Amino acid sequence: MTSAHRVTIFGIVCLLWAASAVAASAPPAGAAPRLAFAKNGDIWTIAADGDGLKRLTSGSSYESAPAWSPGRGSLAYLSRPRASSSRRERLWVMRSDGANRRRLAYVGPSLAGGSSALAYSPHGGLLAGGAKLAAQNSWAVTVLDLKARTSRIVYRYDSADGVQSLTWSPDGAQLVATIEYGGTYGTVRVDVAHDRLIKMHGMSNVESASWRPDGKYLLCSKWFPTVSGGPYRTLLMRPDGTRVKTLGENQRFPVYSPHGSQYAFIEYVGGDTVLKRAAADGSGITTILAAKDIWSPAWR
């Protein structure tokens, strides 16, 4: 065997060893993605195929609005004492397994005092929420710079209630917020860098929105107050507020999977809630979990 042959064989062995090391450190092929959600005042997670249900919080506090960090190693959520009759939510974070729970300190307007939702920007540097301002019926969409630990107002509005849902554009430049206006819902799209309203959509009665990862569409839950039984429908809409088509009936809080190939939603059956998922076109509906009081699904 020549010296050149020995070098070649050695190189092949090194490449095979490196490949096996990478394979050993990679996540298992086909590992199921997970959803976080609030149930009975605690944060839970479950695999999208219905396996591995895990309760992450318990105790004297009421937790809601889970949001995955883009690195998927942590969850932000809202927490308040169960015994409190006032709205005293605080912003907390924990690891995705429920460990290392801690209150997130920052300077500036609240992210928790005027919102039922939280949302990380796609690159993870910003976290959106909402604040109740001092003036009567005055509220705001707020954004926290996680590195500087300072928050700011990106949009003010007058209403009787706070932010219902938040979703970022895939490039992190815009934020769509759904807001309750005295028994109905409205939707705004904000230029976050310049704290500027781009559009007050004509999307009346849209209670939640989820931006598709390719940026082309919003997945929205629309309330039809004149419809009895299941008055909520999932609609596909363009970011300018125009309607494309209806995807499903009796569906609330639809949220896209990270790649946009599926969406999860909440269905009401006989007064109970069912967490389900469907293909992006609304077909192939599958039950993930049936339980009471499921809210705020978030898909990592």
pLDDT in tens, 199-233: 877 567 889 999 999 999 999 998 887 766 668 89
Q: Is residue 103 pLDDT above 80, yes or no?
A: yes
Mean pLDDT of 249-266: 95
Contact 120, 70 (CB under 8 A): yes
Banded model confidence at residue 87, pLDDT cuts 50, 70, 90: low
Q: Is residue 15 pLDDT above 50, yes or no?
A: no
Question: What is the percent of the chain where pLDDT is above 70?
Answer: 85
Residue 25: the pLDDT is 28
Written as one string, the DSSP assignment of 9-77 is: HHHHHHHHHHHHHHHHHSPPTTPPPEEEEEETTEEEEEETTS---EE---SSEEEEEEEE-TTSSEEEE
* Residue 62 neighbours by CB distance under 10 Å: 19
Question: Residue 242 is encoded by which pair of tokens?
Answer: 């125009």
Banded model confidence at residue 23, pLDDT cuts 50, 70, 90: very low
Banded model confidence at residue 241, pLDDT cuts 50, 70, 90: confident
pLDDT in tens, 163-208: 999 999 999 999 999 988 766 788 899 999 999 999 877 567 889 9
**Mean of all residue pLDDT scores within the chain:** 86
Mean pLDDT of 42-59: 95
Between CA 117 and CA 177 the distance in angstroms is 9
Residue 186: the pLDDT is 84
Enumerate domains of the chain plus CATH numbers: 32-299 (2.120.10.30)
Half-sphere exposure of 77 (CA within 13 A, CB side): 32
Banded model confidence at residue 59, pLDDT cuts 50, 70, 90: confident
* Residue 71 neighbours by CB distance under 10 Å: 10
If one compares 171 and 271, the residue with the highest pLDDT of the two is 171
Question: Residue 262 is encoded by which pair of tokens?
Answer: 């599926």
Mean pLDDT of 121-125: 96
Least confident of 4-8, 49-53, 215-219: 4-8
pTM for the predicted model, two decimal places? 0.86
